[in-house]
Structure 1
Amino acid sequence: MTDSHFDRRAFLGGAAFLTLAGAFPAWARSGSAGLSPSPDTLSGDAIALTVGTSHFRTGGRSAHAITVNGTLPAPLIRLKEGQTVRIDVANRLGEDTSIHWHGLLVPFHMDGVPGVSFPGIRPGATFRYEFPVRQSGTYWYHSHSGMQEAMGHYGPIIIDPAGPDPVACDREHVVLLSDWSPVHPHTLLRRLKQMGGYYNYQRQTLDGLLAGKDQPLDERIDWGAMRMDPTDLSDVTGATYSYLVNGHGTAENWTGLFAPGERVRLRIINASAMTNFNVRLPGLPMTVVQCDGQNVQPVDTDEFQIGIAETYDVIVQPREDKPYALIAEAIDRSGLVRATLAPRMGMVAPVPALRQRPLLGMKDMGMDMGTMQHGGHGGGAGQAMAHDMGGHGPAMADHKMKMLDPSVAPDVPMGPGVATLSPMPMDRTADRPTGLEHVDHRVLTYADLRAMTPGTDSRAPDRAINIHLTANMERYMWSFDGVKLSDGAEPIAFRHGEKVRVTLINDTMMPHPIHIHGHFFDLVNGPDPARFPRKHTVNVLPGGKISFDLTADAIGDWAFHCHMLLHMHAGMMRIVTVRHEGAEA
């Protein structure tokens, strides 16, 4: 069956036919004067959502879409801290659906994960979500059924604080980033399983070598012997994706208005399926005031990387009567989207050229750079790795790369799904993120984030656990600790009320945005635990490790997964159980 037949059949089976060119909710329309009450802003104690099918078109590409109340992106839901909300979700699809309230602290049976917290919403059925609103900030919602999230089933949530908002602004815009492909996500996954680098059109070339843009020949030979590609930063790229701001591509030029001198709050959400973005506004500095819905001490920057499912609120203050570009560039530099902040409609900010695509290095393989620079290593990556792996040089030609060493991670099963283990992973919270290591302006790191107010649990952790992010990228197999969820992975068990230090170790050469449901955690990023920032998603850099302190305060079964949709679907997911002491898991 061809892709076109597959997509056409799925489309014709839908409940509606709607071309979405220009059919956006008010908050996402170009020329928005900022967030304000409008008929399609959903608020109050009773909200109704209908999940259906439509047709979406952008950048000359069009395909079947899954929409909420007929739009892509979905309507803005605006709530108030302290209220109780009832949200009725009607399913008009020919398949099950669901909604997960990303980052919201809800009872586990309202969390919206089929097979974990509820059965899902059957075709023709309506499910009522009802929960108290326990927090404020910028969040979002999306399907947790199949691959619907990649097909348009996502929208923003803003929760206003019960008291005064410590972030002062004159106007605010939601900036929802996403990726869009006319190819069905199941087809994307099938192609990647056939060839892991299917969408990587930026491999090294002879011309790149001669121009000095690619690795020297000896390093390239070493990486080739290890079956590793230093350009393999993203599985699905601009070769098939259109990158969007509020559903608009660069040519469609989403425009948010301002008056010169105003303090403008941008509520930036990465709702992509597979794309981490580097975000900047050339010539306009940003002040980060919130991360994952939680207020942080203001920090000035010129660019930051936003992992999939993260949110950042920033304040900008454009003073000149001119357009400013808002740029979200895919981390592999295979594409970008430009939106415009402007004092008037019709103004268009320039589109910068794509910057040179980055190359992964030894640190991204979990190799300690200081160790490698001693001992007279000649040659390139292969010899350095052979030394650091305890003299396992002959193994370098093996098709599995043979970075495997049971002494490094004895609890990780050695099977076909684990091709590499980082021999010397480092804490990379203070590192500039992938692709931003060498830019000549300020770049936000996790080490820059400080909580606005101290956390509520000042205890030292009761215990510590390590979780490895594992993969065989060549075979497109993804897992935690070498075991896919579908292969019977045991739940990660916590006792109610305990505080656990969790260390994520990335044994792959891609960054992974890891999300836990039902909880926030305190990201370990400096000497002062009282100011650890609270997050629900953390992007773990390649070959690195990152730690967070989790207080298991929510009884129930919770999803814990990589928020790269295809990675989660391929197995990088576990269930976290929280039970009272002595209760059965």
Structure 2
Amino acid sequence: MPSISLDRRTLIRSAAWGCGGIALSAALPAWARSGTMGIGSGSEVLSGESIALTIGHSPFTVGGKEGHAVTINGTLPGPIIRLKEGQRVRLAVTNTLQEDSSIHWHGVLLPFQMDGVPGVSFPGIKPGETYNYEFEVKQSGTYWYHSHSGMQEAMGQYGAIVIDPAGPEPVAYEREHVVVLSDWSFMHPMEQMRKLKAMGGYFNMQKQTLASLLAGKDQSAAERTMWAGMRMDPTDISDVSGSIYTYLINGHGSQENWTGLFIPGERVRLRIINASAMTNFNVRIPGLPMTVVAADGQNVVPVETDEFQIAIAETYDVIVKMPPATDTAYGLIAEAIDRSGQCRATLAPRPGMVAAVPPLRERPLLTMKDMGMGDMDMSGGGGHSGHGSAAPAKEPMPGMDMPGGGAMAGMDMSGGSMKMRDPSVAPQVKMGPGVATLAPMPTDRTGERPTGLETAEHRVLTYRDLKSLTPNTDTRKPSREMDLHLTANMERYMWSFDGVKFSDGVDPIPFRYNERVRVNLINDTMMPHPIHIHGHFFEVVTGDPGRHPVKHTVNVLPGGKVSFDLTADALGDWAFHCHMLHHMMAGMFRVVTVRKDEDAA
């Protein structure tokens, strides 16, 4: 573990300044309080072979307003759990709530009975009871834990896991900070769901206006008419937005300004975790490049970038080289992808410093490509990039007519509208009111910049930039291939896989033990979906055989598709779902079963 030392003068200043902040952040664990010098092995983390966690109710204050949280050991985020590869750990989790609860160890490889998903791997933790999770630690890296019961995760029940490798770290650094990103609302998540069911765009306060049309911004009148005819909204980027969310870094809003300290010249490792319920973030440190060294806890060939998008449930480890001999603070900016809000934190050489906060950038608009229509532009005039300039004009697809007449595969344009529900493009999808669209021409977008960052003038990370640091271990070709469609009726807020909600009693997805399968995720919706599988890692197929990035969560861009190769090497029943909490709760959830041949019957 790297050294976490500071010079004596800075240490005294930090202690004095930090103590003054404790009264303002009593619901924050020591490691997450502003002015921290980095995580070590002291009282700010839980480690060893026996760890006790308590789930309970706590008040939580941000922006001067107090709300109610569900917390671990009375703090939001919960304590860091620091383990070591090869050890055995027992985690005794006590539930003091008046309802069932659970903890899922996100990304951690363990027996399925210890995975923490009620109704799938165990019955849950009843009020007043203690459940003992016990398993051997088989890996290293940055992970996290959270509730898998109801909406408790959205109310604060989450924390970080750091697992040190049995051997040396492959990258050098002098200091490390855990950075937990999240979204917080004073509106109960069940009330959010009720409003979304009533109107899918309820929280979207960034719709196009007559003023923006007259000012020459956003879409043209013809484009707006076309989108209105399809009953779709190109500004519908995030279901729940900054209109009710306060975005947090380590439990702090921008006003509280979480500050992590460093010494000039140091290499600082930031273990960045997106523990949000519904928000993907664009992350940057203006003025400093970041070198990505791990994704979802798995080491990658170091790659330098200026910004990356982190989907819900993903983790990225980055190394930041602090300039020598400076007295400069740097802003760590987490901006919601719909640009409805952001959170800033500060990296500084001494407490009390404040870094500049950049203004929110112009919100992006969805395009025909986000409908699964490739690079086609219905208007022939290009779409707005979200950065004040239009994208290059594209010709309409050959053989395709404008609204009012004509047709192409996957579309019925009669009556001036387009209904992209041609079942021939997805014969396994159960058509019904829960499937509003099927992508006619979904494309592999793993090499594309994600939503809103398409025309950024600096470097932006894509999945194809990620290469496993070590060769992929299973070199077999997949023995079979399966398609899985991500389906929805966004207007009615219905979410599913292959047109079937989990509550409809859908059968599990079966795998034979140790078989190699290629899974193609096809996004028929106009929102990104971070898809997570429990108990396994998979290789995202990015065109570099043998070095595909190994992940447990992959973000499927709107109208796009992602393929991954999975070795089903963990027996049992495992959850497989979209990690947008409302999408999962509305039905985008399945169970994967892994059985030996003799047990398959």
Of the three residues 347, 364, 370, the one matched with 1:341 is 347
**Percentage of pairs with the same residue:** 69
CA distance in 2, matches of 1:405, 1:62: 49
Matched, 1:429 2:449: no
Matched, 1:535 2:554: no
Letter in 2 for 1:114: P
**Residues 284 and 396 of structure 1: is their aligned pair in 2 closer, same or farther, counting only changes over 3 Å?**
same
Give the corresponding residue for 1:573: 589
Structure 1, residues 438-460: CA drift from partner, whole Å, max 9, x if none? 11100000010000001111000
**Residues 519 and 218 of structure 1: is their aligned pair in 2 closer, same or farther, counting only changes over 3 Å?**
same
Moved more, 335-344 or 38-47: 38-47
**Residues 375 and 231 of structure 1: is their aligned pair in 2 closer, same or farther, counting only changes over 3 Å?**
closer
Deviation at 1:271, TM superposition (A): 0.1
**Residues 19 and 117 of structure 1: is their aligned pair in 2 closer, same or farther, counting only changes over 3 Å?**
farther
**Residues 383 and 128 of structure 1: is their aligned pair in 2 closer, same or farther, counting only changes over 3 Å?**
farther
Deviation at 1:61, TM superposition (A): 3.4
Conserved in 1, the CA contact under 8 Å of 2:25 and 2:33?
A: no
Give the corresponding residue for 1:35: 39
Give the corresponding residue for 1:475: 492
Moved more, 388-397 or 449-458: 388-397
Deviation at 1:490, TM superposition (A): 1.3
Conserved in 2, the CA contact under 8 Å of 1:259 and 1:343?
A: yes
Give the corresponding residue for 1:583: 599
Conserved in 2, the CA contact under 8 Å of 1:21 and 1:58?
A: no
- Spell out structure 1 runs of 4+ moving beyond 4 A: 374-380
Deviation at 1:489, TM superposition (A): 1.2
Matched, 1:394 2:411: no
Letter in 2 for 1:330: A
Give the corresponding residue for 1:6: none
Deviation at 1:376, TM superposition (A): 6.0
Structure 1, residues 502-535: CA drift from partner, whole Å, max 9, x if none? 0000000000000000000001001x32100100
Secondary structure in 2 aligned to 1:553? coil
Letter in 2 for 1:261: G
Conserved in 2, the CA contact under 8 Å of 1:396 and 1:402?
A: no
**Residues 248 and 383 of structure 1: is their aligned pair in 2 closer, same or farther, counting only changes over 3 Å?**
farther
Matched, 1:312 2:329: no
Alignment of 1:46-445 (within 5 A): 46-319=50-323, 320-369=326-375, 373=395, 382=403, 387-389=407-409, 392-394=412-414, 397=417, 402-445=419-462
Alignment of 1:541-556 (within 5 A): 541-556=557-572
CA distance in 1, matches of 2:122, 2:410: 48
CA distance in 2, matches of 1:440, 1:462: 42
Across the two proteins, how many residue pairs are aligned to each other? Answer: 562
Give the corresponding residue for 1:5: none
CA distance in 2, matches of 1:20, 1:49: 23
CA distance in 1, matches of 2:23, 2:541: 46
Conserved in 2, the CA contact under 8 Å of 1:495 and 1:579?
A: yes
Give the corresponding residue for 1:495: 512
Letter in 1 for 2:572: G
Give the corresponding residue for 2:536: 519
Deviation at 1:60, TM superposition (A): 3.4
Conserved in 2, the CA contact under 8 Å of 1:218 and 1:379?
A: no
**Residues 448 and 227 of structure 1: is their aligned pair in 2 closer, same or farther, counting only changes over 3 Å?**
same
Give the corresponding residue for 1:44: 48
CA distance in 1, matches of 2:375, 2:52: 54
Matched, 1:564 2:580: yes
CA distance in 2, matches of 1:106, 1:196: 37
Give the corresponding residue for 2:8: none
Letter in 2 for 1:281: I
Secondary structure in 1 aligned to 2:439? coil
CA distance in 2, matches of 1:22, 1:95: 25
**Residues 125 and 363 of structure 1: is their aligned pair in 2 closer, same or farther, counting only changes over 3 Å?**
same
Conserved in 2, the CA contact under 8 Å of 1:321 and 1:343?
A: yes
Alignment of 1:444-459 (within 5 A): 444-459=461-476
**Residues 375 and 328 of structure 1: is their aligned pair in 2 closer, same or farther, counting only changes over 3 Å?**
closer
5+ residue gaps, structure 2, are: 1-21, 379-394
CA distance in 1, matches of 2:157, 2:404: 47
Conserved in 2, the CA contact under 8 Å of 1:20 and 1:71?
A: no
Conserved in 2, the CA contact under 8 Å of 1:263 and 1:317?
A: yes
Letter in 2 for 1:220: R
Secondary structure in 1 aligned to 2:519? strand
CA distance in 2, matches of 1:318, 1:279: 17
Letter in 2 for 1:392: D
CA distance in 2, matches of 1:171, 1:41: 15
**Residues 462 and 383 of structure 1: is their aligned pair in 2 closer, same or farther, counting only changes over 3 Å?**
farther
**Residues 495 and 29 of structure 1: is their aligned pair in 2 closer, same or farther, counting only changes over 3 Å?**
same
Conserved in 2, the CA contact under 8 Å of 1:20 and 1:54?
A: no
Conserved in 2, the CA contact under 8 Å of 1:19 and 1:57?
A: no
Secondary structure in 2 aligned to 1:369? coil
CA distance in 1, matches of 2:32, 2:330: 18
Secondary structure in 1 aligned to 2:331? strand
Alignment of 1:15-26 (within 5 A): 21-26=25-30
Deviation at 1:20, TM superposition (A): 7.5
Conserved in 1, the CA contact under 8 Å of 2:49 and 2:88?
A: yes
CA distance in 2, matches of 1:498, 1:413: 27
Deviation at 1:370, TM superposition (A): 5.6
Could you state the TM-score of these two structures normalised by the residue count of structure 2?
0.91
Letter in 2 for 1:350: A
CA distance in 2, matches of 1:170, 1:286: 15
Conserved in 2, the CA contact under 8 Å of 1:26 and 1:38?
A: no
Deviation at 1:402, TM superposition (A): 1.7
Deviation at 1:142, TM superposition (A): 0.2
Secondary structure in 2 aligned to 1:265? strand
CA distance in 2, matches of 1:23, 1:100: 22
Structure 1, residues 126-174: CA drift from partner, whole Å, max 9, x if none? 0000000000000000000000000000000000000001121010000
CA distance in 2, matches of 1:20, 1:180: 18
Structure 1, residues 427-476: CA drift from partner, whole Å, max 9, x if none? 00001000100111000000100000011110000100000000000000
Secondary structure in 2 aligned to 1:42? strand
CA distance in 2, matches of 1:575, 1:290: 28
Deviation at 1:33, TM superposition (A): 0.6
Secondary structure in 1 aligned to 2:92? strand
CA RMSD of aligned residues (A): 1.7
Secondary structure in 2 aligned to 1:96? coil
Conserved in 2, the CA contact under 8 Å of 1:20 and 1:72?
A: no
Letter in 1 for 2:530: P
Letter in 2 for 1:303: E
Secondary structure in 2 aligned to 1:529? coil
CA distance in 1, matches of 2:211, 2:376: 32
Deviation at 1:406, TM superposition (A): 1.2
Conserved in 2, the CA contact under 8 Å of 1:270 and 1:310?
A: yes
Letter in 2 for 1:493: P
Letter in 2 for 1:117: S
Deviation at 1:388, TM superposition (A): 3.6
Deviation at 1:229, TM superposition (A): 0.2
Letter in 2 for 1:530: G
Deviation at 1:395, TM superposition (A): 6.2
CA distance in 1, matches of 2:416, 2:50: 61
Deviation at 1:375, TM superposition (A): 5.1
**Residues 501 and 396 of structure 1: is their aligned pair in 2 closer, same or farther, counting only changes over 3 Å?**
farther
Moved more, 35-44 or 568-577: 35-44
